[in-house]
Structure 1
Amino acid sequence: MIPTVILPSKKLACPVLADILRETRARKNAFQFIRISKQQRNMISAALRHVCCTATFRLMSLSGSVL
């Protein structure tokens, strides 16, 4: 399978991001008292997507894939 650059979207194409979200959901019930505003949630999501895309891009660069 050829690695591709993952663009920020609602689809969880990145396993790392999927793992983070899965863990977050698992902890959600235990930490219901922590309230996060919608704006903060969006910022966190955007940051996670950015990290995910950057990591994928670096992996492609290391593997010598044609961009």
Structure 2
Amino acid sequence: MHARPRRGRVRRPRAAGAAALAADPGAAAAYAALSRSARHTLFLPLLKARTPKTRATALKSILKVFG
């Protein structure tokens, strides 16, 4: 019996979200004030997005929260 190679979880870079928050000090402070679960809930659509278009839409909606 041959073992199948494990499919690792694909991690998408968080650079887009980090760069967007770094560009706005107010947004960075608001993000820092969020709980861990609130951060996860906020970024989950971005992490689950499969296409660049969907990721861009998710990032825009995140920035609206802080905007």
TM range (shorter): 0.3 to 0.5
Of Structure 1 and Structure 2, the greater helix share is in: 2
Under a length normalisation based on structure 1, what TM-score does the superposition of the two structures give? 0.41
Structure number with greater CO (CA < 8 Å, separation at least 6) is 1
Under a length normalisation based on structure 2, what TM-score does the superposition of the two structures give? 0.41
